[in-house]
Amino acid sequence: MQGNILFTVVGSPGHATVIDCDDLYYLEPGVALIRVDKTKVLPAYLYYWYLHSPDCREGFTSDERQVDRRSIPFDRIRSFKISLPPLEQQRDIVEELETGYMARIIESERALSEVHMSLEMLVSKLAL
């Protein structure tokens, strides 16, 4: 199953993740398995497209059904039109996204650590 995508369709629809190992999984009824044809699309590219494409995000919110829980029908997911540049360009896009995201995450963790240390110093001063 490695390289396929899990996609929530019930409850909090629109969350996705790329499967990064070949373990066996049990899929709940509220999770869709999207099988990726790796000769046409990189799993990571499709993942980022699902998460960030305005057309895709609009498609999630415009067709959510409210019964007991929010949901997106499978036929709506199947109908998404995906822009597929050549694989090499997909690689470049994924690399740029991942480099930018990782840099932001590292910087955010560093800033959070500094705030945490500052709070500890303030607390210790107040305790005196």
Predicted local distance difference test score (pLDDT) of residue 42:
93
Average pLDDT over residues 86-105: 87
Q: Give the start-to-end residue ranges of the domains of the chain.
A: 1-82, 85-128
CATH code at 1-82 = 3.90.220.20
Contact predicate 52/101, CB 8 Å: no
Confidence of residue 78 (pLDDT cuts 50, 70, 90): confident
Structure tokens at 117: 């240390």
Average pLDDT over residues 41-48: 89
Distance between CA 50 and CA 27 in Å, rounded?
19
Q: What is the pTM for the complete model shown?
A: 0.63
User: Residue length, the chain?
Assistant: 128
Predicted local distance difference test score (pLDDT) of residue 72:
75
- Non-local (6+) Cβ contacts of 78 within 8 A are none
Confidence of residue 40 (pLDDT cuts 50, 70, 90): very high
Structure tokens at 4: 């396929």
Task: Give the bridge partners for 65, in sequence order.
Answer: 71
- Type of residue numbered 118: S
Q: Is 13 helix (H, G, I), strand (E, B) or coil?
A: coil
Distance between CA 69 and CA 12 in Å, rounded?
8
Look-up of token digits 């409850």: 11
Confidence of residue 55 (pLDDT cuts 50, 70, 90): low
